[in-house]
Structure 1
């Protein structure tokens, strides 16, 4: 997900490492913080694989800043990752939010809708945090106040997300209007 975030943010504009880290942190840092020990090796891998370019610009009051930008290969990698997210990127809420954050870069509305359909299919499958005899436990079926709370919040969140996904898929199926 770190590489997807790097590619996604750099598809929007060239950034230096600190700006990139701050944007990634704002996206998911409260849940999954990004460390320099993870970010900079990922950037180095993407540069070595030809997906990012870097150049230096003078710093405002310090050393020169390394500016990162997306290459054509990096843009293709981003689009491929958005077209075909891994199953964990569909089922994990934080990972899915990362995909969702950059899905607008995928130019084909049908492909965008297909990613949303995969998430909707996942949300429509019966599931729970807790099981009894192999069957999902519902909030009304537990005497545990805290587990009932978890289940109620998850149900409300899932209901809202399913409604939005259904609406978004329908919108993407309509002819595109010119954006202002």
Structure 2
């Protein structure tokens, strides 16, 4: 997801490393913080693979800054990742939000709708944080105030997300 975030933010504009880190942190840092030890090796991998360009500009007050930008190969990689997200990027809420943050870069509305439909299909399958005899435990049947809270919030969130997904898919598919 880190590489997807790097490619996605650089598709919007060239950035230097610190700006990029701050944007990634704002997107998912509250749940999955990004460290320099993860970010800069990922940037190096993408530069080495020809997906990012880098050049140096004078710093505002002191040291020069390394500016990163997306190459054509990087844009193609971004689009491919958006067209075909891994299953974990569909089923994990934080990862899906990262895909969603950049899905507008995918130019084909039907392809955008297909990604949303995969998430909707996943959300239609009954699930729970807790199971009894292989069956999902409902909030009302949990017998625990705190688990009931978890389950009720998850149900409300899931209901809202499914409604938005259905609306978005309809809008994308009707627009052609």
Which TM-score tier does this pair reach, normalised by the shorter chain?
Answer: over 0.9
2:159 corresponds in structure 1 to: 159
Distance 1:102 1:112 in 2: 10
Partners of 1:159 and 1:87 lie apart in 2 by 21
Task: Please report how far the alpha carbon of residue 175 of structure 1 lies from its aligned counterpart in structure 2 after TM superposition.
Answer: 2.4
Matched, 1:70 2:70: yes
Please list, as runs of the form range in 1=range in 2, the aligned pairs for 1:1-180 lying within 5 A after superposition: 1-175=1-175
What stretches of structure 1 of length at least 5 have no aligned partner? none
Query: In structure 2, how many angstroms separate the alpha carbons of the residues matched to 1:145 and 1:55?
Result: 56
Q: How many residues align?
A: 176
TM-score, normalised on structure 1?
0.97
Aligned mates of 1:7, 1:166 — CA distance in 2: 28
RMSD: 0.6
Distance 1:115 1:99 in 2: 9
Q: CA deviation at 1:142?
A: 1.3
Unaligned 5+ runs, structure 2:
none
TM-score normalised by L of structure 2: 0.99
Give the secondary-structure state (helix, strand or coil) at the position aligned to 1:126.
coil
Q: Secondary structure at the match of 1:127?
A: coil
Counterpart Cα distance in 1 of 2:142 and 2:54: 55
Q: Which runs of 4+ in 1 moved over 2 A?
A: none
* CA deviation string 1:144-178 (max 9, x = no partner): 100000000000000000000000000001126xx
| Structure 2 SS opposite 1:151 | helix
Residue-by-residue CA offset, 1:87-108 (whole Å, 9 max, x unaligned): 0000000000000000000000
